[in-house]
Structures are given as structure tokens and as C-alpha cells.
Structure 1
């Protein structure tokens, strides 16, 4: 990868910009294919005049449902150098029965633009002080979901202070750390799979970046279930909800949580956990 990636640069070279653009087009095509293969022709009342050799709809069936030419759809699914209009993206979302989160992901992948090479973010001092002084567990993550700052309450709840520098990533922690498995208990698999589906939307916009590729390698090495979850290509939205945790000293704890983007740097997200009703 040294022919196109210079780790000393904070912005991509022209070659890197092209590579990231290509990866986004491939991610667009891969996502189309994954959603097409998940659809049930019988549920959509689509007649089959010949035996289906693979699950889901055929390409021509999706093209017909979307009102576009089959050749155009094939080029999109193959990740070719084409730029679908917003109307085409919306038509594809309807044809594939996408959820709101999946539709938003398809729109994001269809946009052309320069993706910056990943650089680990710095948390502004004001946000660090805010997090530090909160009585509730709180932490800040970056674009790759690296743990960048947390307070004493979060350290007590999750054990973040015990993580090494290379382990300070919230997805890596939940998927590979035995303490996270114990903390979530029987709900661990569902929580981990949900987080993978949320991270997928972030990853696909930076799929060619070595920093993201390195994280995927470490997740696959540390969590045997991760490759199958990743291959499913699920995309989900996030922002808040409820978590039931099992603390080694404090026992069963219920939290309502929410996440907030920083105005100055949207890559920074603040997560706050407030005690919920049991």
C-alpha cells in the first residue's frame, strides 16, 4: 500500500483520493448486492418463470422495480465508475425495501467527494473538562470509534483505564474483551452484532483506509463471530437506547444512553449513560 498511502500526510494524495473513491463505489455495489440477496421473491409476489440458483431477487427484477435499465443496474452493482442521481438512489432504496438507516447509507455511498486519510482525533480541552466533570459515565469516540476520552464513572463501569493504547476502541473492546462479554451477559451477542451493523455505515465511507483495514483484521482475529456478522453487511442507525449491564461489584445496572456529535468536529461523538429505571 505504500505506493498510494503516505502515513506522514494529513491529507490524501491524488492517487489516494482515487483509491478511496473506487472503494466507495465498490462498497455501493456490494451493499446493493447484499440487500438484493436478502429479499424474498415470494413475499414481494414476484413470479419466477425459471429456477433460482441463488437467494434473493435477480438483477433484472431489481432494475425493473426501480425503473432503471438492467445494464445500468449491473454497472452499479459491479462498483463501476458511475454516479447515480439522487432519484435513482431513492428508486433503488424502494426497490430493495431498505430501512431508513440503509437508505441513508446508500445515499452517503453514492456521493462523490474527497475522503480524508484517517488521523486519530484530538479532543478539545473544553470537551475533556466537560466529560471529566460529568457525574454519569461518559466517553468520547472518533471516526474509527477509538476511545479518546472518558471520565471516572466510565472507567469504573467499563474498565477503560485498564485498556492498552491499542485496545482503546469501543468496538474492539466490546467484541474481543472478556470483561465486555461479562458486562453484557446474555445480551452480549445481540449488542455486539448491533454495534457491528452501526460501524458498517462508518467503515464503508473509508473502506480503503489502512487504519480501518487494520481494525477489521484485529476484530476478525479477536472475535470468531465477527467475520459472519461483517459478511451479512447489515447497516443500522444509532443514537441512543437502553442497556442492562452486570457490573462485577455493583451487580445489575440499567442505563439509558445517548450520543451527541461535536459541532466543531462531527467525527467526535460524546456518549452519556444515565441511570434508568429497572
Structure 2
């Protein structure tokens, strides 16, 4: 099947809309002049756009067309992909709440898993994460932040390769906040760590950028020794910025250690 084109997409979405009129209409959906009026563009230009002759619309015009055609987030993204071959700019909205369904996914995992915002604030976790990293529910909200934790002065006591962890987290953080858009929360976090961490200042100046990908991670616990994981990050659909970090043991010893911690710290019956 051929790839959908921008003219085809616009016509299909226009024809799906129900006009608020009385009486019968010969054609389905809205007329071109009605969409043009909604979007604040000329009828001629919109007609050309549906015919593949209108040139490349600006972001502002695409946003107005998205509203005129009553597009949801998925179709708005498709509109930008067809017109500009890139997703639309992120809207500056706070990350969505953790849904009960998302929490159930976490709770059904026997390996450590966390949900974070674009500013790496930890907003959900499972029992395996608690036995490995500590009780997030008992922590002040300020401390539930992955960047603050990896740039903490005592991070080297449990991270054998702290600088590698700091470097990869910071590079992924820069990508995350670029995608989410500048926010006062992100700016305040950067200012805080610039003022309190020499390591943060040094690594921030390197301007390294890359997504998280799958990363090896090593942790040291006095009670079970060294644990080896692969850290994977997954975007949470329809959450506007949330992502899930899952730490999968890479060897039998690490898997047994996680199970041991879960059993030793099992909640009372």
C-alpha cells in the first residue's frame, strides 16, 4: 500500500467531520471553505494544499489546521510528519499522572522498574526498586530525582562506575528536556546541580547528547555484593513525557540477589 500523502490525509480528515447544519448535504464532512474559515487561511490556499500545490505550511498554520480538523494527538503528530517529516513541537504541559494500569505493569515485574518525568523525577516504582534503592514513598519528594541521586557526593559508594552513570544520565536528560520543551522545573534543577556539584558542571560543559538506549549498570550492595543489570528505557504512550526504566539482571547471581532481597523484605502477611 502506498504511503499516505498530506493531501490525502487532509481530505480524509475533513470528510470525517460532521457539519453543524440542518438539511441534507450532497458531500460528506466539511467543505473546504469551512475548514479554511476555521483555520484562518484563504480558501484558495487550502484548496491548493489538498491538491498538493500549497507549499510547505508553517508550524503555526499546521497547529491551526489541527484544531480546525479536530485532530487528536496521534493525528496531529501525523499531520506534522507528513508536512515536515518530523513530529510537532512538544506542548508545555506537565507530565500525565501515573495511571492504575501503569502501576499494575510495574507491580507485576519482578525486576526493578521506575517511572520518571522528563526532568528525571521518579513518580512511580515497584517493590524490586524499593528493596534495591530504598523506599521512595518515605523519601522527601526533592530526593526522588535520578540526577540528584547520581550526582550525590556519596554516589560512588554504591555505583562502581559513577562517572559513566552520570555521563549517560545527563546526556539522556538533555535530550528529554529538549523534546519536552524548556520548563522552569528543568531550569531550576540545572541551576541547583551547577551550584552544588563540580562533576555536574564539568559534564554539563561537554554538551553530550544521546538517548538512553540499553546501558549496562553495576550496583554494589553490602548485603548481596555486586549486581549487574541492563537498563532499558521505554516511552509510556499517551502520558506526555513519562518513561519507564527497567533494570534487567544480566546473570544468574544478580537475578538471585534481587529475589533474595525481595524475600527478605517481603511485607508481613
Which of the five TM-score ranges fits, normalised by the shorter chain?
A: 0.5 to 0.7
Q: Corresponding residue for 2:140?
A: 164
Q: What are the equivalent positions in structure 2 for 1:162-241 lying under 5 Å apart?
A: 162-176=138-152, 178=154, 180-185=155-160, 187-205=161-179, 208-241=182-215
Q: Distance in 1 between matches of 2:153 and 2:86?
A: 36
Return 168-177 or 115-124, whichever deviates more. 115-124
- Corresponding position of 2:112: 137
What's the C-alpha RMSD, in Å, of the aligned pairs? 2.6
Tell me the equivalent position of 1:250. Answer: 224
- Structure 1 counterpart SS, 2:151: helix
On the 8 A contact 1:131/1:151 being kept in 2, the answer is yes
Deviations 1:85-119 (A, max 9, x none): xxxxxxxxxxxxxxxxxxxxxxxxx9795543352
Normalising to structure 1: TM-score of the pair? 0.54
1:149 maps to 124
Unpaired segments ≥5 residues, structure 1: 1-82, 84-109
* Cα deviation, residue 259, structure 1: 1.6
Judge conservation of contact 1:118–1:209 (CA < 8 Å) in 2.
no
Please tell me whether the aligned partners of residues 261 and 268 of structure 1 are also in contact (alpha carbons under 8 angstroms).
yes
State which structure, 1 or 2, has the greater radius of gyration over its C-alpha atoms: 2
Aligned length: 169
Displacement, 1:194?
A: 1.6
In structure 1, C-alpha distance between the alignment counterparts of 2:205 and 2:158, rounded to whole Å = 26
Between the aligned partners of 1:184 and 1:232, the Cα distance in structure 2 is 22
